[in-house]
């Protein structure tokens, strides 16, 4: 039996119909839901207490009754009080985009780490939403807390959730520590690390499979990949790198998830090169690209090497592909399925990681500690010495980063 649901949200310059198409896909892939319709209101900002304006909310209530909808789903993350107010007014269950995304993540998590990260995100979302009316905790499992004298059910529930959050944070910490050790080993070996990033369903895992020759295949579901895996890729011109796949991003990605997945997303933080995979076969390319850029900046905003990989060109006509090539001059067009463009992709990676690297000695004034940090983060520091005039650093790194440093030094630097 499908749960009947209605979607609702606001429409403005930033939030278009594409959003609701995406929300419908999300809701449908999160479980046994049948989407009966969408109610939208054009307004610049949500109404603070009820999210929708009074008239629209009444229209939604009428539709809920008429169609016997059992659940309404908001396109934005509702505040806990908006959620309560709407549920009271409509007399039906209310959830939002964040709740749906968290449900999908919960279904997809397989490894211990993934499960902890998702549970943590869910609890952080639920904590302010506990209303004390009863059954919210039934799905959470965990130990039974004893109720102190004079303590209400709500306080007990909150205390239980907070305790569980602490426990999970500690478990996650242990796992993270192990990952850090592995990464340090890789760094010492000077193996360059490359990370695939992109919107969900862009084809990251398919590209990973094509490059590593593994048996991994693409998955049409949203958020198919939740865990990162590093694999060695040998370059045709010699040398190799470690490639890692990552969780896909989406517009309005819940901040609780970004926070919980920080350990997984460390691969992105540590990468020498990011491959930003873009699906060119669905509309709204620019918006999805800027969403990915925003999430990457949220994880870590240091400048770094990035290559755009425009995927699924097999789904475009030659004329469409040509038009796109004009619009998107940077980057490489590929099809992970037909293999088109994949050898150019490898050649470009080789060039970025190896050929464009240069070794240089710089004198950095003591006032520019920021540049010292930038070099440590982005290059291999071969030698570092304090001199009267500044810090003398011998580094090897990409031309791209080093040129930024020259520019920042604005001619004051000396290099030999
Ligand atoms: N036609 C076509 N389909 C592709 C191509 N690359 C990937 N796909 C399909 O797109 C869907 C998503 O691919 P995945 O590789 O799982 O995408 P992903 O970016 O890893 O997605 P998440 O893990 O959910 O973030 C699958 O059905 C793939 O078969 C391509 O080049 N051409
Ligand atoms: Mg994937």
Check if the beta carbon of residue 128 is closer than 8 Å to that of residue 157. no
Q: How many domains does the chain have?
A: 4
Burial class, 375, CB count within 10 angstroms (exposed 0-12 / middle 13-18 / buried 19+): buried
Q: Is 198 in the pocket of ligand 1 (CB under 6 A)?
A: yes
Best substitution site from 219, 267, 275 to test ligand 1's pocket, by max atoms within 8 Å of Cβ?
A: 219
Closest listed residue to residue 357, CA positions, set 403, 322, 409, 299: 403
CA 309 / ligand 2 centre spacing (Å) = 15
Q: Whose CA is nearest to atom 27 of ligand 1?
A: 220
Q: Please report whether residue 181 resides in a domain.
A: no
CA 238 / ligand 2 centre spacing (Å) = 27
The rounded distance, in Å, linking the Cα atoms of 144 and 157 is 10
State the pLDDT at residue 214: 63
| Dihedrals phi, psi of 149, to nearest 5 degrees | -65, 130
| Each residue's pLDDT tens digit, 192-248 | 889 999 999 999 999 999 998 865 566 767 777 766 678 889 888 777 888 998 888
Q: Residue 315 CA: which ligand 1 atom is closest?
A: 1
Q: Calculate what percentage of the chain has a pLDDT beyond 70.
A: 88
Q: Is 335 in the pocket of ligand 1 (CB under 6 A)?
A: yes
Q: How many helices, marked H, and strands, marked E, lie in the chain?
A: 14, 13
Same domain flag for 14 and 117? no
The rounded distance, in Å, linking the Cα atoms of 390 and 367 is 8
| Residue 210, phi-psi category: left (phi > 0), alpha (psi -120 to 50), beta (remainder) | alpha
Q: Whose CA is nearest to atom 1 of ligand 1?
A: 312
Q: Whose CA is nearest to atom 28 of ligand 1?
A: 218
Closest listed residue to residue 244, CA positions, set 284, 294, 186, 300: 186
Considering every ligand atom, which ligand is closest to the CA of 311?
A: 1
Strands 390-398 and 380-387: antiparallel
Q: Is 248 in the pocket of ligand 1 (CB under 6 A)?
A: yes
The rounded distance, in Å, linking the Cα atoms of 246 and 204 is 8
Q: Is 249 in the pocket of ligand 1 (CB under 6 A)?
A: no
- Residue 36, domain CATH: 3.40.50.11060
Q: Please report whether residue 415 resides in a domain.
A: no
Domain of 17 in residue numbering reads as 3-102
Determine the average pLDDT of the residues in 92-110: 90
What number of other Cβ atoms are within 10 A of residue 6's Cβ?
20
Same domain flag for 257 and 321? yes
Closest listed residue to residue 97, CA positions, set 89, 105, 85, 87: 105
Same domain flag for 52 and 145? no
| Dihedrals phi, psi of 415, to nearest 5 degrees | -135, 150
Same domain flag for 345 and 378? no
Same domain flag for 206 and 343? yes
Q: What's the order of all strands across the beta sheet hosting 33-42? A: 33-42, 3-11, 71-74, 93-96
Same domain flag for 220 and 233? yes
Closest listed residue to residue 96, CA positions, set 82, 122, 70, 77: 77
Q: Please report whether residue 183 resides in a domain.
A: no
Q: Calculate what percentage of the chain has a pLDDT beyond 90.
A: 44
Q: Is 202 in the pocket of ligand 1 (CB under 6 A)?
A: yes
The rounded distance, in Å, linking the Cα atoms of 268 and 405 is 22
Q: Please report whether residue 182 resides in a domain.
A: no
Q: Residue 198 CA: which ligand 1 atom is closest?
A: 19
Check if the beta carbon of residue 256 is closer than 8 Å to that of residue 124. yes
- Residue 230, domain CATH: 3.40.50.300
Best substitution site from 205, 245, 253, 324 to test ligand 1's pocket, by max atoms within 8 Å of Cβ?
A: 205
Tell me the C-alpha to C-alpha distance, in Å, between residue 359 and each of 79, 370, 389: 52, 20, 21
Q: Please report whether residue 219 resides in a domain.
A: yes
CA 276 / ligand 1 centre spacing (Å) = 14
| Each residue's pLDDT tens digit, 277-325 | 999 999 889 999 999 999 888 887 777 789 999 999 999 999 999 998 8
Q: Is 315 in the pocket of ligand 1 (CB under 6 A)?
A: yes
Could you identify the residue written with the tokens 């209310």?
Answer: 94
Q: Please report whether residue 180 resides in a domain.
A: no
Same domain flag for 38 and 123? no
N- to C-terminal Cα separation, the chain: 73
Same domain flag for 227 and 350? yes
- Residue 378, domain CATH: 3.30.70.240
CA 220 / ligand 1 centre spacing (Å) = 6
Q: Is 209 in the pocket of ligand 1 (CB under 6 A)?
A: no
Q: Please report whether residue 184 resides in a domain.
A: no
- 3-state SS assignment for residue 50: coil
> 227 is written with which tokens?
């865990």
Of 102, 133, 157, the last residue of a domain is 102
Same domain flag for 69 and 117? no
CA 194 / ligand 1 centre spacing (Å) = 19
Of 140, 175, 210, the last residue of a domain is 175
Same domain flag for 282 and 304? yes
Residue with the bigger pLDDT between 171 and 152: it is 171
Same domain flag for 210 and 341? yes
| Each residue's pLDDT tens digit, 114-162 | 889 899 999 999 999 887 544 344 344 333 444 444 568 888 889 999 9
Of 102, 122, 146, the last residue of a domain is 102
Q: At what angle do helices 153-188 and 112-126 cross, to 10 degrees?
A: 140
Q: Please report whether residue 186 resides in a domain.
A: no
Q: Is 241 in the pocket of ligand 1 (CB under 6 A)?
A: no
The rounded distance, in Å, linking the Cα atoms of 152 and 147 is 8
Same domain flag for 350 and 201? yes
Q: Residue 219 CA: which ligand 1 atom is closest?
A: 16
| Dihedrals phi, psi of 118, to nearest 5 degrees | -70, -40
State the pLDDT at residue 407: 77
């Amino acid at each position: 039996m499908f749960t009947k649901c209605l979607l609702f949200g606001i429409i403005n310059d930033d939030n278009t119909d594409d959003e609701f198409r995406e929300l419908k896909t999300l809701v449908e892939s999160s479980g046994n839901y049948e989407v009966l319709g969408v109610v939208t209101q054009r307004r610049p900002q949500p109404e603070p207490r009820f999210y929708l304006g009074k008239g629209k909310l009444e229209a939604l209530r009428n539709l809920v009754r008429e169609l016997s909808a059992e659940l309404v789903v908001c396109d934005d993350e509702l505040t806990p009080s908006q959620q309560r107010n709407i549920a009271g007014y409509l007399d039906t269950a209310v959830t939002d985009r964040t709740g749906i995304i968290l449900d999908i993540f919960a279904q997809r998590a397989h490894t211990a780490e993934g499960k902890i990260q998702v549970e943590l995100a869910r609890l952080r979302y639920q904590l302010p939403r506990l209303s004390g009316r009863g059954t919210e905790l039934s799905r959470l499992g965990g130990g039974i807390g004893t109720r102190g004298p004079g303590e209400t059910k709500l306080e007990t529930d909150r205390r239980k959730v907070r305790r569980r959050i602490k426990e999970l944070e500690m478990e996650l910490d242990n796992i993270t520590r192990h990952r850090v050790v592995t990464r340090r080993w890789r760094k010492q070996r000077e193996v360059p690390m490359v990370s695939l990033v992109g919107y969900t369903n862009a084809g990251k895992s398919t590209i990973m499979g094509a490059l590593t020759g593994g048996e991994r295949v693409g998955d049409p579901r949203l958020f198919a990949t939740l865990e990162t895996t590093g694999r060695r890729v040998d370059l045709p011109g010699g040398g190799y790198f470690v490639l890692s796949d990552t969780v896909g991003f989406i517009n309005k990605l819940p901040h609780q998830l970004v926070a919980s997945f920080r350990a997984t997303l460390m691969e992105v933080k540590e990468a020498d090169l990011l491959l930003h995979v873009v699906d060119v076969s669905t509309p709204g390319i620019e918006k999805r690209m800027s969403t990915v850029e925003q999430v990457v900046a949220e994880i870590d905003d240091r400048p770094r090497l990035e290559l755009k990989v425009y995927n699924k060109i097999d789904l475009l006509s030659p004329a469409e592909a040509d038009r796109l090539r004009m619009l998107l001059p940077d980057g490489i067009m590929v099809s992970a399925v037909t293999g088109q463009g994949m050898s150019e992709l490898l050649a470009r990676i080789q060039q970025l990681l190896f050929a464009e690297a240069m070794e240089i000695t710089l004198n950095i004034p003591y006032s520019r500690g920021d540049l010292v940090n930038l070099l440590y983060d982005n290059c291999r520091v071969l030698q570092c010495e304090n001199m009267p005039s500044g810090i003398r650093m011998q580094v090897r790194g990409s031309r791209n980063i080093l040129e930024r440093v020259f520019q920042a030094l604005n001619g004051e630097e000396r290099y030999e």
